[in-house]
Amino acid sequence: MKNSYTITRSMLAVLGLTAFLSASAQGPQVGVKLGANLSNFHDNEVTDDNARFGFNVGIMGRSSPDQPIGLQAELLYTTLGNSTDYHGFFDMGDQSVDFNLNYLQLPVMVSFRLADGVFEIQAGGYAAVLLNANVSTDGDLGSGEDDVDVDNFNKMDFGLVGGLAFNAGPVQVGVRYNYGLTDVADSDAAKTLLGDAKNSCAQLYLAVGMP
């Protein structure tokens, strides 16, 4: 029942953004997007340790398609979190643990197109809603996946986003970085484990329908 409600809410949000982007008389350009995530948690500085591979998928739209400066908004399902490897005595009992946080994310950016629109610089911020959380394990001690109560975490996540893109006809290829400003943990138990950790994520994506 809970998963059905989450899926329905996500679908309504996608339909709502699509209708909003299509409401303009001239109409912004709209595309679909699929990408890979390399996510982690950060406190004061971001490192490559314990990075987790994931993905992002959704829709994107840009106002003023014929102008060098426009507003770009996206609605994405994105997987964040981190991955930790544990090594037992004499390398016995090796185990990997993935901490998974899945969000519905809304990045809003100013888009600057250069060289007749071939290259693009994007900068702005994002807001995200936490949909679910789980921990998955794999290794010598067994494999499995367990849901985690989302009440342990902040339901909303806010942060900064910036990136570069290359446009070739209706195809856009880009790299982007998301720097979270909101603590992931909310409950005392989660804060004991995660402290002041915040989300961070590097992305590589492909979009069709843009520019």
For residue 112, pLDDT beyond 60 = yes
Is residue 114 predicted with pLDDT exceeding 80?
yes
Q: Which tokens go with 136?
A: 């998955």
125 burial class (0-12, 13-18, 19+ CB within 10 angstroms)?
middle
**What are φ and ψ of residue 18, in 5° steps?**
-60, -45
Is the N-terminal amide bond of 68 cis, ω within 30° of 0? no
Q: Please give the full DSSP string across 155-195, using - where no structure is assigned.
A: SEEEEEEEEEEEEETTEEEEEEEEEEEEESB-SHHHHHHHT
Q: What is the pLDDT of residues 5-44, one digit of tens each?
A: 444 455 455 545 554 444 443 556 889 999 999 999 998 6
Q: Give the pLDDT band (50/70/90) at residue 146.
A: confident
Structural domains for the chain: 2-208 (2.40.160.20)
